[in-house]
Structure 1
Amino acid sequence: MRRQAALLLALAAASAPAWAEGPAPAAAPDLAFGAYQRGYYQTAFAEAMKRLDKNSRDAAAMTLVAELQAQGLGVKQNMTEALRWYRLAAAQGDKNSQFALALAKLAGKDGPRDVSGARALLEKAAAQNHAGAWLQLGILALEGNGVAADFAKAAEHFRRAADLADPEAAYSLGLLYREGRGVERDPQQAAAWLKRAAEGGFLAAQVEYGILLFNGDGVPADEAGGARWLIRAANRDNPVAQNRLARLLFFGRGVKQDRVEAAKWNILAAAAGLRDPRLDGESNKLTPDERRKVEAALKIYLGK
């Protein structure tokens, strides 16, 4: 059940820096965060340091300095210094630094992997409505870490994160409802959470929800609607979506039959390791002219 995608710092509202959870702390004017948002990282670092010169307890500025150093944005990457700033900001109660430091502890970037230390930080950040912290607590509940996985607790944590608009959490909760783990199996609830995650832009959810729609699993069957979600995901280079879309295009299900487009998506899925002998057989039936069109379509898609 565990998500395979790497956990990154939470995406913020449009007014906040990309690594922050929620709106940036009040400052007038907030030159440091403004520079960060526009990609002027050296300026962001300089302005954040000016703020710290004026107020050594400015946790938001500490977190910004830490993030810039951790990512090597505008300054030389320095994880040791980044962790120092994260610790200082976390001690001030900054939820973004608490979350970032927890991830560092889980990844073994702050000494040996420290699950208990990470959990304590995540709980502090979650208490401040940090969606990413609730999500990670749910994942820890699934991991077990020496004890049985607690699916009910994971579902509770995922719900808290999903209610804070975290699409990965909505996806994870949808999977629990689909499998009946930690919650009563409920195809309708599974579909509803997967839809929310798909609409939130979570790629895996777009694939899953597209398949649910196509098959009518927990929702009224809608082959055309399912195909539209698969098209979105295929264009984001998801090989499962590319494979499923190739099937629909070859046989005209939910979309108009298009053997050239079908073969294109089948080749892309196969290149990613998802081979489909049935679709390969259909591709082998293409005429020489269709094959040339497939090559041209691939060049356009790949930007060649």
Structure 2
Amino acid sequence: MGSNRFHRVILKGLLAAFLASAALPSFALAQANTRAVTRPLEPDTQPMKKDRVETQPAEGNAQGAAEEQTQPDGIVPSGGVELYQRMGAALPPAPPEKPYNGPIDEAYGAYQRGFYVTALDKALTRAGAGDAAAQTLVAEMMTKGLGIKRDAKTAAFWYRQAAEGGDPAAMFQYALLLMSGRDVPRDKKLADEFMRKAAEAGNSSAQFNWAQIVVSDNPGEKGLHLALPFYEKSASQGVADAQYAVAQLYVALKDLPQEKKAKAREWLERAAKAGFDTAQLDMGVWLVNGIGGERDYDKGFEWMRIAAHRGNVAAQNKLSHLYINALGTRPNPVEAAKWYVLSRRAGLQDPALEDFYLGISEETRKQAIEAANRFRRG
């Protein structure tokens, strides 16, 4: 049955592999979702990282050799999903709503109730008079074709008017248009200016994106220190990617106060509970290795399992190691081989797991391939 080979991947090698994955990631500029309407609530955009991959559908086959026939042609990064679609764990309690005693905005009220024609009619009148909030609403509705035919170029005009009028949501959206050159001439300098202004005005998505820009423009620890306050502000407003970044920086930056470093795992857990699969992966890594707190193999296994089920290939690979070494779970060669098969199909090579896989019996490999195919079909 290959039992000796099953235990060949020892704990020392596992922890070394886990530690290697715990290094500070390179942060890529995240383009938040295009929702701009912010009244009366702030936007809940949650950009995704690129660790998530999707592969071609598996071809059912009961023969052991069929595993090689189901290799995908390549790895395709997913387009990401909204927060409510990626809940892998219980969400943290929602923050209490802030009391609102200001004037009632009839245009936004109609928009939120789905009365788009009414909302557009009321907003256009105010937009023409220079109301920045109404201009943002008009741009949003034209972008999505709500109550009017979709018109991206005219929407860009209204975003610009609202941005120049000081609306934070419009400044953020217009900055994104300027970055991409979509429907407006590309202008990085002006885009950065509007992104910074939106971030300073409190827009949570702009705060995260401006932090990314600062890191990109200022390589090394200097840039990370300059960006950290914006990551922290965005994280405090619930942006999961910012919470993840704060956790990583609290661990990586050496000269931060100890009270901040002590909260690194707390921020990472908040991002993980929001359904961010990369944070779920790192929660598993941190708990297994004792990063940011005590070791907890059981909880580490659970977070790794959640991330693996969400499609995170690195988590699938590491979950295989946990099953082999019985860390947080009982040893299970079928499950170990199943998760290895899934991660290998996605292009992640692992010589130690390949050695384990070749050492198990043909019947175990067959069961693992069938389990992997069921998972992909599901």
Map of 1:80-99 to 2, 5 A cutoff? 80-99=153-172
Question: Would the aligned equivalents of 2:277 and 2:307 in 1 still touch at CA under 8 Å?
Answer: yes
Could you tell me how far 1:64 is from its partner in structure 2?
A: 4.2
Is the alpha carbon distance of 1:2 and 1:277 closer, same or farther for their aligned partners in structure 2, counting shifts above 3 Å? closer
Q: 1:66 to 1:236 in 2, by over 3 A?
A: farther
Q: Which residue of 2 aligns with 1:129?
A: 202
Aligned to 2:351: 277
Code of the aligned partner of 2:234 = A
Match of residue 208, structure 1, among 282, 290, 293: 282
**Secondary structure at 1:81 match in 2:** helix
Kindly indicate whether residue 321 of structure 2 is the aligned counterpart of residue 243 of structure 1.
no
Corresponding residue for residue 51 of structure 1: 122
**What is the alpha-carbon distance in structure 2 between the residues aligned to residue 247 and residue 127 of structure 1?**
45
Matched, 1:298 2:372: yes
Distance 1:31 1:299 in 2: 48
CA contact 2:126–2:134 (8 Å) conserved in 1: no
| DSSP 3-state at the match of 1:55 | helix
Distance of aligned partners of 1:59 and 1:225 in 2 relative to their CA distance in 1, 3 Å threshold: same
User: How far 1:71 sits from its partner (Å)?
Assistant: 5.7
Aligned to 1:4: 28
State the shift of 1:140 in Å: 1.5
Q: Aligned with 1:267: secondary structure?
A: helix
User: Which amino acid in 1 is paired with 2:216?
Assistant: E
Residues 211, 227 of structure 2: 8 Å contact kept: yes
- What letter corresponds to residue 109 of structure 2 in structure 1? D
Alignment of 1:218-237 (within 5 A): 218-237=292-311
State the match for 2:187 in structure 1.
113
Give ranges in structure 1 of 5+ residues lacking alignment: 36-42
Q: Residues 191, 288 of structure 1: CA spacing in aligned structure 2 closer, same or farther, 3 A cutoff?
A: same
Displacement after TM superposition at 1:51 (Å): 2.5
How far off its partner does 1:72 sit?
6.8
Q: Shift in Å at residue 120 of structure 1?
A: 2.4
| Aligned twin of 2:331 | 257
Task: Using the TM superposition, give the Cα deviation of residue 98 of structure 1 relative to its aligned residue in structure 2, in angstroms.
Answer: 1.0
User: For residue 374 of structure 2, what is the amino acid of its counterpart?
Assistant: I
The alpha carbon displacement at 1:247 in A equals 0.9
CA distance in 2, matches of 1:85, 1:181: 45
The answer to whether structure 1 residue 27 and structure 2 residue 120 are counterparts is no
Contact 2:301/2:328 (<8 A) preserved: yes
Q: Work out the CA distance in 1 between the residues paired with 2:220 and 2:334.
A: 51
User: Residue 5 and residue 77 in structure 1: after superposition, are their counterparts in 2 closer, same or farther (change >3 A)?
Assistant: farther
Identity score, percent: 28
User: Shift in Å at residue 30 of structure 1?
Assistant: 2.2
8 Å contact from structure 1 (residues 152, 183) kept in 2: no
Alpha-carbon separation, structure 2, partners of 1:6 and 1:146: 17
Residues 206, 229 of structure 1: 8 Å contact kept: yes
Q: 1:145 to 1:17 in 2, by over 3 A?
A: closer
Structure 2 distance, partners of 1:272, 1:65, is 43
C-alpha deviations, 1:117-158, integer Å up to 9, x for none? 223222332233211111112111111179995222111211
What is the DSSP-based 3-state SS (H/G/I as helix, E as strand, rest coil) of the residue aligned with 2:262? Answer: helix
SS of the aligned residue for 2:292 comes to coil
Which segment drifts farther, 25-34 or 230-239?
25-34
TM-score by length of 1: 0.81
Tell me the amino acid that sits aligned with residue 103 of structure 1: L
For normalisation by structure 2, the TM-score amounts to 0.66
Does structure 2 conserve the Cα–Cα contact (< 8 Å) formed by 1:108 and 1:114?
no
Which residue identity is paired with 2:212? I
Q: Which consecutive unaligned segments of at least 5 residues does structure 2 have?
A: 1-24, 47-96
Which range moves more in the overlay, 202-211 or 70-79? Answer: 70-79
Q: SS in structure 1 opposite 2:337?
A: helix
Measured in 1, the distance between the counterparts of 2:200 and 2:309 equals 37
Q: In the superposition, relative to structure 1, how do residues 71 and 143 fare at CA in structure 2: closer, same or farther (>3 Å)?
A: farther
Equivalent AA in structure 1 for residue 333 of structure 2:
R
Contact 1:143 1:149 in 2 (8 A): no
**8 A contact 2:28–2:212 mirrored in 1:** no
Deviations 1:20-42 (A, max 9, x none): 7999995358232333xxxxxxx
Instruction: Provide the residue aligned with 1:40 in structure 2.
Output: none
Separation in 2 of the partners of 1:227 and 1:148? 32
Letter of the structure 2 residue corresponding to residue 7 of structure 1? Q
> Corresponding residue for 2:235?
162
CA distance in 1, matches of 2:138, 2:255: 40
